[in-house]
């Protein structure tokens, strides 16, 4: 047994242990902390699986922003905890345990009898890379070969933000999402929020730019930019824009909008919906990615801020 395999077994065991902890621990807050640690270690598993693009996404969005979201909610709901008494009965527990064990066993069996050699689309993705002149095959799949998925996913982001906003009480509609944060102006949080965002902006734009040829892209870069924005908001140095702001709405639809325009142009002048002419593929994809990173950063940040709570001008 090699050292690598021992490391992998230990990693898998720790991840599973954290998974069990998040399910069985009594306090919801502890469960969320466990889930954040779980997400970061799962990112390590993705590194071991040689999927660096996914590892970056998982660490930034799954572990990082998702963790902030869950921790914030758990902190707000902390007081409601003792009121909950209607835990599942023993019969339900036993049935759920049997069902879950069966599901897990079936999946484990499926993993063990996967065909050898495994089917793969990697050669097809690599041999068609000339069509876009991007060297990162994952970006090629995201932006060209399965561009439809990526475009629809932007629409899902939009729908989610509309859903969150529509939960606002009538009196707050059109106002700023989330509470106005106020921190000690001489405190350390404000200090960090003054120092870090410029560095994060350089790193975020670099991650977007390098995504053409190396692991990275609009999702990972957008998550970094969103995190910097949120840091400034939490330190009280910036405020969320009111949801009635036209500029904000323009940014939110920029990504999917440009994607759609390019797609329809492909339908009219090219061979199919979302087909890029190979000569212009790279600049077109870059333009879409720039629009997308703005949309992604704004949407992720606003999803974390939550529903509008305050009227404009209050």
Partner 1 sequence: MSLLGDIITIVAVSAGAFFFLAGTVGLLRFPDTLTRLHALTKADNLGLGLVVLGLLPQAASLRDGFKLVSIWLLGLLAGATVSQLIARAARQGESAR
Partner 2 sequence: MSGVTVFGLCAAAAVGLGLYGLITNPQPLRKIIAFNLLGSGVFLLFGVIGRRGAAAGMGNDPVPQALVITGVVVAFSATALAIALVLRLFQTTGSTTLSNAAPSGTGSNPSGD
Partner 3 sequence: MALKAASRAAWFLCLWLVLAGADPADIPAAAAAIAAATWTSLRLLEPSTARRSVRAIGQLVLLFLYHSVVAGTDVARRALDPRLPLRPGFVAYPTRLSSGIRRNVFTTLTSLLPGTVPTGEENGQLVYHCLDVEQPVVAELAAEEAALVRALYND
Which tokens is 290 given? 């720039």
- Helix, strand, or coil (residue 176): strand
In the bound state with partner 1, the residue whose beta carbon lies nearer, of 54 and 193, is 193
197 binds partner 3 (CB under 8 A): yes
| Minimum CB distance to partner 3 smaller for 158 or for 205 | 205
Contact criterion met (CB below 8 Å) for 267 and 235: no
The contact mask relative to partner 3 for 151-190 (x = CB under 8 A, - = no) is ----------------------------------xxxx-x
- Token code pair at residue 227: 């995190």
Shortest Å distance, C-beta 213 to partner 2: 14
Q: Segment near partner 3 (CB under 8 A), from 22-30, 127-135, 195-203, 249-257?
A: 195-203
Specify the residue, 129 or 189, whose C-beta has the smaller distance to partner 1.
189
Q: Which of residues 194-223 bind partner 1 (CB under 8 A)?
A: 195-196, 199
Output the smallest distance, CB 313 to partner 1, in A.
31
C-alpha to C-alpha distance for 288 and 258, rounded to whole angstroms: 6
Proportion of the chain in helix, strand, coil states, percent, rounded to 5:
75, 0, 25
- Please tell me whether residue 37 adopts helix, strand or coil conformation: helix
Among 189, 205, 237, 260, binds partner 1 (CB under 8 A): 189
The residues facing 310 across adjacent strands are: 176
Distance in angstroms (rounded) separating the CA atoms of residues 241 and 203: 24
Q: Provide φ and ψ at 196, rounded to 5°.
A: -80, -40
- Extract long-range pairs of 185-192: CB within 8 Å, 24+ residues apart: 185/236, 189/234, 189/235, 190/235, 190/236, 190/237, 192/231, 192/235
Could you give the string, one character per residue 66-95, with x where binding to partner 2 holds by CB under 8 A and - elsewhere? x--xx--xx-xx--xx-xx-xxx---xx--
Given candidates 194, 249, 280, 311, which one binds partner 3 under the rule CB under 8 A? 194
Q: How far apart are CA 193 and CA 134, in angstroms?
A: 35
Least spacing, CB of residue 187 vs partner 3, in Å? 8
Could you tell me the smallest distance in angstroms from the CB atom of residue 36 to partner 1?
A: 14
Closest C-alpha to 61, from 255, 295, 223, 222 = 223
Could you tell which of partner 3, partner 1, partner 2, none binds residue 178, using a CB distance below 5 to 8 A set by kind?
A: none
Taking the C-alpha atoms of residue 157 and residue 136, their distance in angstroms, rounded to an integer, is: 24
Our finding on whether 101 is near partner 2 (CB under 8 A) is yes
Residue with Cβ nearer partner 2 (49 or 188):
49
Give me the least distance between CB of 184 and partner 1, in Å please.
9
Segment near partner 1 (CB under 8 A); pick from 64-72, 192-200, 214-222, 247-255:
192-200
The Cβ of residue 128 has, within 10 Å, a number of other Cβ atoms equal to: 14
Binder among 134, 164, 231, 258 for partner 2 (CB under 8 A): 164
Which residues in 206-265 contact partner 3 (CB under 8 A)?
206, 208-210, 232, 237
C-alpha to C-alpha distance for 241 and 222, rounded to whole angstroms: 18
Assess 160 for contact with partner 1 (CB under 8 A). Answer: no
Q: Is 3 in the site for partner 2 (CB under 8 A)?
A: no
């Amino acid at each position: 047994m090699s050292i690598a395999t021992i490391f992998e077994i230990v990693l898998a065991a720790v991840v599973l242990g954290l998974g069990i902890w998040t399910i069985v621990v009594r306090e919801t807050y502890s469960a969320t902390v466990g889930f954040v640690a779980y997400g970061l270690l799962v990112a390590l598993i993705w590194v071991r699986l040689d999927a660096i693009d996914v590892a970056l996404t998982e660490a930034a969005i799954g572990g990082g922003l998702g963790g902030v979201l869950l921790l914030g909610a758990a902190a707000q709901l902390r007081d409601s905890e003792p009121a909950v008494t209607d835990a599942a009965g023993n019969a339900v527990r036993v049935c759920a345990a049997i069902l879950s064990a069966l599901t897990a066993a079936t999946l484990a069996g499926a993993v063990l009898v996967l065909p050898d050699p495994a089917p793969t689309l990697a050669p097809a993705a690599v041999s068609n890379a000339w069509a876009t002149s991007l060297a990162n095959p994952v970006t090629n799949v995201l932006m060209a070969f399965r561009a439809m998925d990526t475009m629809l996913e932007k629409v899902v982001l939009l729908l989610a933000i509309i859903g969150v906003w529509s939960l606002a009480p009538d009196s707050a509609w059109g106002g700023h999402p989330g509470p106005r944060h106020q921190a000690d102006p001489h405190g350390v949080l404000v200090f960090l929020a003054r120092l870090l965002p410029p560095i994060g902006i350089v790193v975020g734009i670099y991650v977007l730019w390098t995504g053409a040829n190396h692991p990275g892209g609009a999702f990972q870069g957008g998550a970094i930019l969103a995190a910097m924005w949120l840091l400034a908001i939490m330190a009280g140095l910036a405020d969320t824009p009111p949801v009635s702001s036209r500029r904000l709405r323009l940014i939110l639809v920029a990504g999917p909008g440009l994607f759609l325009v390019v797609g329809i142009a492909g339908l009219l002048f090219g061979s199919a919906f979302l087909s890029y002419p190979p000569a212009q593929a790279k600049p077109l994809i870059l333009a879409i990615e720039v629009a997308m990173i703005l949309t992604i950063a704004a949407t992720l940040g606003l999803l974390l801020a939550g529903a509008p709570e305050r009227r404009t001008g209050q």
